[in-house]
Amino acid sequence: MRIDIVTIFPEFFSVLDVSLLGKARESGLIGLGIHDLRDFTHDRHRTVDDTPYGGGAGMVMKPEPWGEALDSILVPESVVIFPSPAGEPFTQATAQELSTEPHLIFGCGRYEGIDERVVDYTATRARVRCMSMGDYVLNGGEVAAMAMIEAIGRLIPGVIGNPQSLLEESHSDGLLEYPSYTKPAEWRGLEVPPVLLSGNHGAIAAWRREQQLERTRRIRPDLLD
Ligand SMILES: Nc1cc(-c2ccc3cc[nH]c3c2)n[nH]1
C-alpha cells in the first residue's frame, strides 16, 4: 500500500517514521509520501486560505492549492480521504476495508475546512470518502488522519508480528474484547480469575466469550443492535 498525506503541517507526521509503521515502511509494506500544501501555492505569502463566501467566522481553504496538490499524486485507483466532523463514521470495518486498497490519500483540512469544490472535483477523478473519527471537533484533519493511518496500517498483512492478536481485539468481531491478565496470580489482594489458571481451554474460551458479551452489553449496548 502507498499512503500520501497533504497537510500544512508536514512535520506533524514525522512520528510515522518510528514504531510499528516505521518498520512497515522500512520493509516496503507501506510507502509514505507527505506533501506540504503550501508547496502548491504561487504567491509570496504561500496563501492557502481566504474568507468564506456568504460571510461567517473563520477562513476556508482555497481550492487552487488543493487541486494542484492532488493532481500531483492522484491516480484513478486512489481513495481520497478527507477527515471531517461531517463525515461518515470511521469504524474498524472501515479500517479493514481500506487496508486492502493500493493507494490512500489523506487530505488534511484546517481553518473552517476546505472549499467544497475540491471534494466535488476530486470525486470526478477518484473515490472520495469524508470520514469522521467521532462526534467531537478537532482543529484540523491531522490527528484524525494519524489515527486512521494507524488503524488501517496495522491490518496490512505482515505489519503486525502475530496476526492472531488482530482476531481477538475489541471490534474485530463486533464485540468489546475480554479482560486480560498476566503474572503475578495475586496482586494487591486481587486474584486472576481461576478459570484462566485451570488449563481447561474450552472453559477459558467460553469464559472469554461471556466476558465479551457482558462487557458489550454493559458498556456498548449499541454494538448489539
Ligand atoms: N472527527 C472529527 C474530524 C474533525 C475535523 C477534521 C478536519 C478539520 C479541518 C478543520 N477542522 C477539522 C475538524 N473533527 N472531528
Residue 104 pLDDT grade (very low, low, confident, very high; cuts 50, 70, 90): very high
Asked whether the CA dihedral 165, 167, 170, 171 is positive or negative, the reply is positive
Q: How far is the CA of 28 from the centre of ligand 1 (A)?
A: 30
pLDDT score of 213 more than 80: yes
- Average of per-residue pLDDT values in the chain: 95
Residue 103 pLDDT grade (very low, low, confident, very high; cuts 50, 70, 90): very high
Q: How far is the CA of 138 from the centre of ligand 1 (A)?
A: 5
ipTM at complex level: 0.99
pLDDT tens-digit map of 131-149: 999 999 999 999 999 999 9
| HSE of 57, CA atoms in CB hemisphere, 13 A | 0
List pocket residues of ligand 1, CB cut-off 6 Å: 83-85, 109-110, 113, 132-134, 136-141, 144
pLDDT tens-digit map of 154-200: 999 999 877 777 777 888 889 999 999 999 999 999 999 999 999 99
Q: How far is the CA of 106 from the centre of ligand 1 (A)?
A: 12
Q: So what's the pLDDT on residue 85?
A: 98
Residue type, 149: I
Q: So what's the pLDDT on residue 36?
A: 98
Q: CA-to-CA distance for 122 and 134, rounded, in angstroms?
A: 24
Closest Cα to atom 5, ligand 1: which residue? Answer: 84
- Rounded to the nearest angstrom, the gap between the alpha carbon of residue 109 and the centroid of all alpha carbons in its chain is 15
Q: So what's the pLDDT on residue 167?
A: 75
Q: How far is the CA of 129 from the centre of ligand 1 (A)?
A: 14
Is 111 known to sit in a ligand binding site?
Answer: no
Is 135 known to sit in a ligand binding site?
Answer: yes
